[in-house]
Amino acid sequence: MLLVLPGSVVVTVTLLKKLFPNAKIIIDRFHIVQMLNRAVNSTRTDLMNRFDNNSKNYKLFKRNWKLFLKRYDDLNCTYQFYERSQREWVTAEQLVNQGLQLADQDFRKAYWDYQRLLEVIDDPTPSKIKIFKQCLTEVNQKYPGSRSEASKADKTLLTLYDNLIPVITALEPQYCHYTNGPLEGINRKIKQIQRTAYGYRNFEHLKARIYLQTYLGKDTRSSVKTA
């Protein structure tokens, strides 16, 4: 039996082990990436706000935030474009490197920890999984007592370490194709339907709307018998 957990129920791993002792528990990789993604973005915002709003450094982190969330190996290192905030022709890779040079230790560490995770997701080899596991272990050893002094990114890594087995299992090649993506999409659609209608008093009406919205625009002629 395999249980795929979304990131919002990480704390229920202990309970699930008691209820399903023979189940292999994994945490959805999307939520693992999302946790570090948000930590990196929040750390970038804190770093950006240390600079003057009209300075080049502030605009570098403000205008190019998407580049800092992209995989480093996918950054274009040949195509140059004119970056108005820096008043020079640069590549995407050069902009990220400039930002890393200006950044403090917390942001640089958060950035490269995030990159390690992206590498494991794209190519889940045993060596890369081992490196990421060692990264989580080192962060845990860094805060043997209180974790209140940990940075935002380190707190995220500590959360992943507390659920180390489900996290590492989710990164293994034989389980990497399991995902909660379709289920998350359905939940998102239902919540949007409720939000658009400001709620439904009658459950049957809500269910009918869900069916209508789900099949709206789909070609169902293949299921209709023709003479």
Helical residues (DSSP H) of 103-180, grouped into ranges: 105-122, 126-142, 152-162, 164-171
How far is the C-alpha of 71 from the C-alpha of 166, rounded, in Å? 24
Give the amino acid at 215: Y
Question: Using an 8 Å Cβ cutoff, are 111 and 100 in contact?
Answer: yes
Separation of alpha carbons 70 and 31, rounded Å: 16
What pLDDT tens digit does each residue of the chain (227 aa) get? Answer: 445 555 544 445 667 777 877 877 788 888 888 899 999 999 999 999 999 999 999 999 999 999 999 999 999 999 999 999 899 999 999 999 999 999 999 999 999 999 999 999 888 899 999 999 999 999 999 998 888 889 999 999 999 999 898 899 888 888 877 777 788 888 888 999 989 888 888 999 988 888 888 775 555 554 444 43
Neighbour count for residue 192 (Cβ, 10 Å):
11
pLDDT (0 to 100) of residue 10? 47
pLDDT at 27 (0 to 100): 83
Cα distance between the two ends of the chain: 46
pLDDT at 227: 38
Evaluate the CA torsion angle 206, 207, 212, 214 in order and state its sign.
Answer: positive
DSSP letter, residue 26: E
Query: Residue 63 has what pLDDT?
Result: 93
Smallest Cα–Cα separation from 171: which of 143, 138, 136? 136
User: Tokens for 196?
Assistant: 């658009």
Size (the chain), residues:
227
pLDDT on residue 108: 95
Confidence at residue 148, expressed as pLDDT on a 0 to 100 scale: 86
What is the residue type of 181?
A: G
Q: What is the pLDDT of residue 109?
A: 93
- pTM metric for this prediction: 0.75
Spatial CA neighbour of 3 closest among 17, 23, 22, 29: 23
Note the pLDDT of residue 5: 56
